[in-house]
Each structure stands twice: as structure tokens, then as C-alpha cells.
Structure 1
Amino acid sequence: MKRLFAVALLAGLLSACSTPAPVLTQIDRSVVSVSQEPRIQFLILHYTAINEPASLRVLSQRDVSAHYLVGDQTPVKVWQLVDEGRMAYHAGLSEWKGYSRLNASSVGIEIVNQGFQDTPQGRVYFPFPQAQIDQVIALSKDIVKRYNIKPEFVLGHSDIAPSRKQDPGPLFPWKQFADAGLIIWPNADEVARLTPLYTQQLPEARWFQQKLAKIGYGVPQNGQFDDATRNVIIAFQTKYRPTKFDGVADGETAAMIDSVATQTR
């Protein structure tokens, strides 16, 4: 009897082992939820602060990466280093309009540029060749079109991490991006009208903080011109008024902030 039971148990185990694995049934994709959006919502622009060969080596072999690298040699070369469907490590700790850790929801473009050099006469920034900028604009327009990225979500690294990053720097030609329809730009007539008014009576710190937060910056709301708030003002000025980016909340800066905030959805 015991032998018969053992044989039966063994037969049962063998039968269980031979049971075919479940097969996924056909997936019905005829019903699509309206509550969704593309994973890619941001386009983030950087400079590498090193030369082209070093940029390519670092972005392909280290623990940082970007989807694209745009060179500065002639002819300008564009490398795709990471598939857009995969996450690249370019944004780090970052924030914009309540979104954080933007690596997962952005495409990153690194632009070969030495950044700046500190000299006895002061800090000197390196310009971007126009041929290089033409390629960055063309690439940006292609990405923005494919993912329907909003103009207020085309950003520099300094926009999303103003306390620790300053790229792509004051010589990056953001106005050309505005002319190409890629970003919001202050209305010149509105700025001219508002500047003397705000110069005569400068808004309080909380006004600046609220307006900058509406634009998208991660800025304190404590009513003080603290270091974090000044860093955000510097980031804004570097982008929209690169001739003077000292972090001082003056009348012209207030007028430009007001104009951009008014256009921000």
C-alpha cells in the first residue's frame, strides 16, 4: 500500500511539473483612457564645461549621461547617446512647477562649451558658435514637436536647479529660442511700461517669490530675499537679462518677471 501511495505521489508531482506555463491572452487595445500624457514633458539644456572629446567620453562612460550631445567643431556633429525612451542622468535634484527629479520626464541635451574661466579681470564666459546653436534649435524643435512640450517646459539646467547649477550660462542665446517659438519671452513694450513703475515702488520679496513660483521656479515663499531666492533671481536674469545677473530684485527684473508670469499657463 505504501509503495502504491509513493508511486501515485510521484506521478502527481511529475504531472504538476509537466503542466504548461500560462499563456498571456490577446490584449484588447481598443479602449484608450483619456487620463494620460506623454512621459516626456521637459526639454533641458546644458553646457558640458569641457571640450568635445572629453564630453563624449564622460557622457558615455561615466555615471552621468544625456540623450544628445551637440559638438562645437566644424562641421557640427550631434550624437544620440541615450534612446529617448530611456532615462538619462542629466538633471539631478531638480524642480519645476511642482515636478521634481526631472530625469524621468525629460530629454536632456548637452552642448559642448567650456562654460567660463575666472581671470584677474573677472569671470569670462565662452560663446556658442552660431552653427552649433542652429543645430540645437533644430534638434529642440524636433523634440518639442514630437512630444508636444510646452514652451514653459523648455528649460536650462539653472532653471531647475538654481542653487547649484548655472548652465547653459549668460551667453546662451535664449532669445533665438524665443524667436523660434520654443520658449516664452518678456514682452518688450510691457517691460518698458512697467519698469519705471516698479522702480519707483519695488514689490516686496513675497511678490517676487509668488511670481517666480507661477513661472515654475522652486523658490521659497517666506517673504525674504534669502540666498535661495536670490539664486532663483540670478537664474531668471541670466536667461532673460544676461547683461546683468546679480540677483538684485530691481524694477526691470520685476517688470520682466511680471511679463513672463502673465504669459505662463
Structure 2
Amino acid sequence: MKKFPLATLAILATLLAGCATPPPPHLDTSLTARGQSSRVKFIILHYTVADLQRSIKILTEQEVSAHYLLTDTDEPKFYALVDENRMSHHAGVSSWKNFSNLNPASIGIEIVNAGYTDTPQGRVYAPFKQAQMDQLIPLLKQIAARHQVPPQNILGHADIAPQRKQDPGPRFPWRQLADAGLIPWPDAGQVMAQRSLFDVQLPDMFWFQKKLAEHGYAVPQTGVLDEATRNVLFVFQSKYRQSKYDGEPDAETAAILDVLTRPASPPAPQPSPAPVPVPVTVQ
């Protein structure tokens, strides 16, 4: 057997010690910090513009991803593709109110849907199956409760990227989400009252742009009805007035926008309880 000098053995021992994996640090999890919150502030809804198999391939093999994929099968189900504690790549360049780059702060849900088809008569959007909504609404309620996501932060991809996205499109049944208490919705009576005023005098473009920005959209503040502003109006109308979404400012759009951006009314004062008589003991 070949013998190595002691100096060589010492060097070899040092090298082997350096290659050894150190033991993991001991983590004491008996304490919990009070100052913490979920990273999730938003839930963003998308359509896939692809069939189920292609949607799966795109969302699992490419850089784009989502936390959940809702199928369009006869009995729709969810694929959980990314853990809620991790970031998925679904929002891209995005903003809402004072937030930008929403990927790290959101959960993305992709819904299998054909999106739209361009025809000689115009763009035709594909409907969503009611069975999909029956699965989506309970999941949204669970996610919102789990992460304390407020109703105003459950949005479509088009809301956070109106210059480049239209999903989930004007056939998505937002009103069902409103009826389930998941998103804000304008009161019809207030809208009608405001519309009668705006029918007489339509606000100028500065007003529309200011109100759209108050609602949350990234929109130019130029006072000019440019293409960017039309795109934002289209997205707003396709969500809150799905009977007409032409991107044109009109009295009904102004009324809906005005109602949605009104400050919340303070709760009505509650009457003080009547004093409880103190029993008197007669000696």
C-alpha cells in the first residue's frame, strides 16, 4: 500500500471537509411575528385563447404560467399549476392604482376559452360555460378569504393592461361575481339618476380620464380622446356595460363611472341604547 506524507493527508482532509455538506441550521418555529401579511393583493382572471390541450402545453412548458387553469370540459376542474406562495408569470407589464408589476402580488387564474374570432361582421367573443362559473366563484371566495383580497382587487387581465389585453373579454359574466359579493358593482338606481344629468351635459375628456384613473386604470391625462383612452374605455365598458363597448364616451358610461368612483358613505349612526333603570332597594 502506498503511503502518503502527513502533509498531503492533511491537505486531502481539508479538501474533503470543504466538500462535505454542512448540517442544516436549527430553526425554532415556536414564535410567530405579528407584523406579517400575505404577498397576495390581487386576483387576476384571464382567458387562454386556446383549447385545453394547447392551454396545458403553454402554461406548463413555456415561460408564461398561472396558479390555476380552469378547464372547459363537461365537468370543469382546476389544475393547480403554481403554488399560491410562489409567483407565476401571468400579468406581464401591468398596473392598478398605485401598484405596478403585479406578478409578485397576485394570483393568476386562466380559464379555457376561445377568446374571439374576427369575422367580416366584426369581432365575435366566445361565451363562458355556466359550469365554469360554478367552479370559479367558490375558488375565488376561498382565495379572497385566505389572502384578504378586497373586492376592488379582483380584476381582469384587461383591467391591469388595457393597452395590450382584452381578456377575459365582454362575454365574461362579471355580474355573477358581483352578485356573489366578489367585486363592486354600480347601483342601477344611482346610475339612472346620474345618466339623466349627463344626458343634458356630457363631461369633458379630462373628467373621463380623471375618473378612470381614480377607478384604477393607467390612462393618459391629456383631455384628448386618443387611442389609449379609447382602449381603457373599451375595457371599462366591456366589464360594466356589456351591451355596448365601443370605446366612446357617453352619458351611460359617465354615469357608471361616476357611481363606481363615489366615496363610500360612512355608516349610519346607531341609536344609543336606552338606559337600564337601576333597581332601588327600599329599607
Q: From the superposition, tell whether residues 118 and 23 of structure 1 become closer, same or farther in structure 2 (CA, over 3 Å).
A: closer
Q: CA deviation at 1:222?
A: 2.1
Aligned to 1:171: 171
CA separation in 1, counterparts of 2:223 and 2:28?
54
Partner AA of 2:33 in structure 1: V
Q: CA deviation at 1:120?
A: 2.1
The equivalences for 1:1-265 within 5 A come to: 30=31, 32=33, 34=35, 36-262=36-262
CA separation in 2, counterparts of 1:28 and 1:64?
35
Say whether the 8 Å CA contact 1:90–1:103 is kept in structure 2. yes
CA separation in 2, counterparts of 1:22 and 1:108?
37
Say whether the 8 Å CA contact 1:98–1:218 is kept in structure 2. no
Q: From the superposition, tell whether residues 254 and 27 of structure 1 become closer, same or farther in structure 2 (CA, over 3 Å).
A: same
CA separation in 2, counterparts of 1:44 and 1:207?
27
Greater relative CO (CA pairs within 8 A, separation 6+): 1
Identical-pair percentage: 51
- SS at 1:252 equivalent: helix
Q: CA deviation at 1:24?
A: 5.2
CA separation in 1, counterparts of 2:235 and 2:123?
17
CA separation in 2, counterparts of 1:102 and 1:244?
29
Q: CA deviation at 1:85?
A: 0.9
- SS at 2:262 equivalent: helix
Q: From the superposition, tell whether residues 75 and 263 of structure 1 become closer, same or farther in structure 2 (CA, over 3 Å).
A: farther
- SS at 1:110 equivalent: strand
CA separation in 2, counterparts of 1:48 and 1:26?
42
CA separation in 2, counterparts of 1:83 and 1:171?
29
After superposition, what is the alpha-carbon deviation per residue over 1:199-254, rounded to whole angstroms, capped at 9, x for unaligned? Answer: 21111211112211111111122222222111111110000001111111101000
Partner AA of 1:186 in structure 2: P
- SS at 2:261 equivalent: helix
CA separation in 2, counterparts of 1:87 and 1:25?
27
What TM-score do the two structures reach when normalised by structure 1?
A: 0.88
CA separation in 1, counterparts of 2:170 and 2:74?
23
Unaligned runs of 5+ in 2: 1-6, 266-283
- SS at 1:262 equivalent: coil
The runs of 4+ residues in structure 1 deviating greater than 6 Å are none
- SS at 1:152 equivalent: helix
Say whether the 8 Å CA contact 1:95–1:101 is kept in structure 2. yes
Q: From the superposition, tell whether residues 208 and 60 of structure 1 become closer, same or farther in structure 2 (CA, over 3 Å).
A: same
Q: From the superposition, tell whether residues 223 and 33 of structure 1 become closer, same or farther in structure 2 (CA, over 3 Å).
A: farther
Aligned to 1:3: none
Q: Tell me which moved more, 211-220 or 143-152.
A: 211-220
Whose Rg is larger? 2
CA separation in 1, counterparts of 2:188 and 2:24?
63
After superposition, what is the alpha-carbon deviation per residue over 1:124-168, rounded to whole angstroms, capped at 9, x for unaligned? Answer: 111111001111111111111111101110000000000000000
Partner AA of 1:52 in structure 2: L
The aligned length equals 252
Aligned to 1:4: none
CA separation in 1, counterparts of 2:263 and 2:230?
22
